[in-house]
Amino acid sequence: MTPLHLVSAIVASYVCFVQGQSICTTPDSASGVCIGIHECKPLLAILNKPQRTKEDIALLRQSQCGFGANNMPQVCCPQVTPPLDRRCFTYEGKEGTCLGLRSCPSLTKLLTPPIAKESVTYVQVSRCESPDQYSVCCGPDDVVPPPPVKVPGAACTPSAAPPDPRTECCGIDSGGGNRIFGGNVTAIDQYPWLTLIEYRGVRDDAIKLLCGGALISGRYVLTAGHCVAGPVLNIGKPINVRLGEYDVRVTGRDCVEVEGGGTDCTDPMLPLPIEATIPHKDYNPSAKLRRNDIALIRLAKLAPYTDFIRPICLPTLDIARNSVPNVRLEVAGWGAVSDEQSFSNVKLHVDLPLATKQECEPYYAQREVPLWDGQLCAGGEKGKDSCKGDSGGPLMNENGKIWEIVGIVSFGPTPCGMEHIPGVYTKVYQYLPWIRSQMKP
């Protein structure tokens, strides 16, 4: 019997009947997907065997689960689950393993009464994702290392791990007093973690700048899910991340005049190739709710650590639940500067008030977009907002002298900068477990 005749003959009892892909159960009671046999490598290999046994033929018959285009039989193809990669980075930037808290003695000891506030914070920012209940990134040491001592003048070494904020190797810029929608021009070396994503046009091969992001380690950029998945891919494919950018019109070094005379110049902008884009597994580009709008970009090589390129720190607290009143945050990027101009040539920033859910919810609830714990709001002041072109960029909080990324530009009102209507940002603190689990050496 030829393979084609055998395919036509597979019409025995079936586990499921579908149009398109559907979950089904294989003859050995495993989880599978109902697809055409030519798309299922394990069963196709059996079908193409020169000498099939009775057991082979029985398996093919029992795997039949429906019919597809042209009435061709479909089979329940076993789902191959890749082994779980439990590697993660600890708060100190060491390689660890994502385990249940009870399986990590060093962190369990921190929660032995009396419990210090710093210990609770340490455990919270060590969270990661695994099948175990309340998972943490457990380091290689039997005890949690003491806080690192910052040595003045010591060099910061870039790595794939997010830097420990206590080392001051993240979140530090030297931006000064040089004078986004309604925003001001930044200093030339301000916010050195800001990035621009280069897309290669689908239709014309031209380079397009459609989204921003923030460098959070030597190897990873944090951005919005809608910047790497969904309709944006109909416009262009993400290919590079620009680091150290200031004025997109300049191909070499950017220079500005400084107070007192003279000029201050950057290093040339550095484009690094994208190795992989990692949107959150639960981000749905077609969903109106726009939840889980977060993604990581893994760079093909390590970014250098310079005055104009360095990472921002991940947050150490949930700013939306922090009791500090009148918190103002910064958002920066190359987004719209007015309703007429959709993109700025130079890096801009604007300060915005943190908004409560009660201040933010009514506008979006009316539009059937209820907010949830994975989002926070900022803005609501007339003429000041993140806007088109800022997507994926960071919402930042200055915690002492360290800048932390607390939000990612997700969506907002149209037009931008409407009074009493804050913009919506993905709350980074909520996604720390996911971030720590996705970042790999």
CB contact at 8 A, 214 and 221: yes
Two tokens at 283? 């981000």
**DSSP states of 364-395:** HHHTT----TTEEEEE-STT-B--TT-TTPEE
Lookup result for tokens 């890749």: 82
Distance separating alpha carbons of residues 253 and 81, to the nearest angstrom: 48
Catalytic hit among 63, 126, 135, 391 = 391
Distance separating alpha carbons of residues 180 and 388, to the nearest angstrom: 8
pLDDT of the residue at 10: 35
Distance separating alpha carbons of residues 219 and 299, to the nearest angstrom: 5
Whether 437 sits among the annotated catalytic residues: the reply is no
Catalytic hit among 126, 130, 164, 226 = 226
Of 356, 359, 411, the C-alpha closest to 385 is 411
Two tokens at 436? 């720590």
Whether 293 sits among the annotated catalytic residues: the reply is yes
Letter for the amino acid at 224? A
Q: Is 57 left (phi over 0), alpha (psi -120 to 50) or beta?
A: alpha
Contacts 24+ apart (CB under 8 A), 110-113: 110/144
C-alpha angle 214-218-223 in degrees, rounded to nearest 5:
25
Count the neighbouring beta carbons within 10 Å of the beta carbon of residue 16. 16
At 350, phi and psi to the nearest 5?
-150, 145
Rg of the Cα trace of the chain? Answer: 26
Whole-Å CA distances, 15 to 31, 37, 70: 11, 15, 20
Catalytic hit among 173, 247, 254, 293 = 293
Q: Are strands 184-185 and 220-223 parallel, antiparallel or unpaired?
A: unpaired
Two tokens at 244? 């150290």
One digit per residue, the tens of pLDDT, for the chain of length 441 reads 444 443 344 333 333 333 345 789 899 888 889 998 888 988 998 999 989 999 999 999 999 998 877 788 899 998 877 788 999 999 999 999 999 999 999 999 999 999 999 999 999 999 999 999 899 999 998 889 888 877 777 789 999 999 999 999 999 986 543 334 445 677 788 999 999 999 999 989 899 999 999 999 999 999 999 999 999 999 999 999 999 999 888 888 888 877 767 788 888 999 999 999 999 999 999 998 889 999 999 999 999 999 999 999 999 999 988 767 789 999 998 875 444 556 788 888 888 999 988 889 899 998 889 999 999 999 877 766 566 547 899 999 999 889 999 999 999 887 676 778 899 999 999 999 999 999 999
Distance separating alpha carbons of residues 258 and 177, to the nearest angstrom: 9
**DSSP states of 47-95:** HT-SS--HHHHHHHHHTEEEE-GGG-EEEEEEP-PPPP--EEE-TTS-E
pLDDT of the residue at 179: 31
CB contact at 8 A, 57 and 47: no
Q: What is the pTM of this model?
A: 0.80
Cβ burial of 263 (10 Å; 0-12, 13-18, 19+) is exposed
User: What DSSP element (H or E) covers 158?
Assistant: none
- The predicted-structure confidence for 107-116, as pLDDT tens digits, reads as follows 999 999 999 9
Distance separating alpha carbons of residues 334 and 350, to the nearest angstrom: 11
Letter for the amino acid at 117? K
**DSSP states of 276-298:** EEEE-TT--TT-TT-TT--EEEE
DSSP 8-state code for residue 45? H
pLDDT of the residue at 235: 94
Whether 106 sits among the annotated catalytic residues: the reply is no
Two tokens at 248? 């997109």
